Amino acid sequence: MKIRINNIECRNQTSNSGNYEIVKWYKNEYYGTEQEMLDEGYIYKDRYYTKGNVSVHEDCFKSPESCFVIADLEINHREPDVNLRTVGSRLLRLNNEERNDFFDVYRIANDKIFKQLDYDED
């Protein structure tokens, strides 16, 4: 399942099959800057661009967007229900529009999970 509204997305959790995560996408500042970094004196070796104490993995240049996890959706088969577990205070740091998008994505994802698992909602 993949649901995205603006910069907020729910997707399958890669580390725990069967559960989901809600992420926030943002512009990747490294996308397309490999040559600029080399021009600034970074050295490319063993898949990293390094200068002083800074190292950037080559994968950081491949996508125009990056993301971080805001919350996990864990299926609780005993209840049955879906548990929302936030990552620290990241949810609180979203602006009003992002927070509204978060709850819209969460609501849609929760409904789809219930339908997939054939749970009856109260």
Q: Could you read off the pLDDT tens digit of each residue along the chain, which spans 122 residues?
A: 899 999 999 999 877 667 899 999 999 999 999 999 999 999 999 999 999 999 999 999 999 999 999 999 998 888 888 899 999 999 999 999 999 999 999 999 999 988 887 765 55
CB-based contacts of 4: which residues, under 8 Å, 6+ apart? 10, 25, 105
Q: What is the structure's pLDDT at 119?
A: 63
Query: Which tokens is 13 given?
Result: 């959790």
Query: Which tokens is 87 given?
Result: 């990552």
Q: What is the structure's pLDDT at 121?
A: 54
Q: What is the structure's pLDDT at 106?
A: 97
Closest residue by Cα to residue 9 from 114, 108, 105: 105
The structure tokens 């005993």 sit at 78
Specify the pTM.
Answer: 0.82
